[in-house]
Amino acid sequence: MKDKRRQLAQLQLMMSEFERMSKELESQIAIEEKKSGITDPNHFAYPTFAKAARQRSDNLQVSIRELKVQQDAAELALEEAEAEFAKASALEERDNAVRMRA
């Protein structure tokens, strides 16, 4: 269960870091667009840096979505492990109570 919690925390940390990086890229894109006066990525004179930053940001968003799927699976696995642990603990308590009565 400890490993599952650690894995979940790592996924959340990665998603948070990717979100931060994506927002930073979006800010840099806005600065480049403002400097050039061109906001259409399809325009022939659109800044090369902005185009590359936009692609990187898009890639980060894809990665975030993929990590979200992994996070959902990790949360489900953790819930199942916690339920199994609770069930085993309840059975152990019951067995101990039966032994104490005997």
Domain that holds residue 27: 2-101
**DSSP 3-state assignment of 1?**
coil
Model confidence at 102, pLDDT cuts 50, 70, 90, reads: low
Model confidence pLDDT, tens digit, residues 61-94? 999 999 999 999 999 999 999 999 999 988 888 8
Q: Please give the model's pTM, rounded to 2 decimal places.
A: 0.78
**DSSP 3-state assignment of 46?**
coil
CA angle 84, 12, 56 (to 5 degrees): 145
Number of domains, the chain: 1
